[in-house]
Amino acid sequence: MNKNKFLPIIILFFVSFITFQITLSAQQNEGKYVIVLHGGAGGFPKDATDSLKNAYLNSLSEALSIGKKILENGGSSLDAVEKVINYLEDNPLFNAGKGGVFTSEGKHELDASIMFGKDLSTGAVAGVSIIKNPISLARLVMEKTEHVLFAGKGADELGLKLGVPVVHNSYFHTEDQYYNWLRSNLPKQPGETVGCVALDK
Written in H, E and C, the secondary structure of 12-46 is: HHHHHHHHHHHHHHHHHCCCCCEEEEECCCCCCCC
Residue 184: strand pairing partners: none
**Residues recognised as catalytic:** 193
**Using CA atoms, how far apart are residues 81 and 20, in angstroms rounded to an integer?**
16
**Using CA atoms, how far apart are residues 151 and 109, in angstroms rounded to an integer?**
10
β-pairing, 34-38 vs 121-128, is unpaired
DSSP class of residue 5 equals: G
Residue among 129, 170, 172 nearest 152 (CA) = 129
**Using CA atoms, how far apart are residues 46 and 48, in angstroms rounded to an integer?**
6
**Using CA atoms, how far apart are residues 143 and 121, in angstroms rounded to an integer?**
8
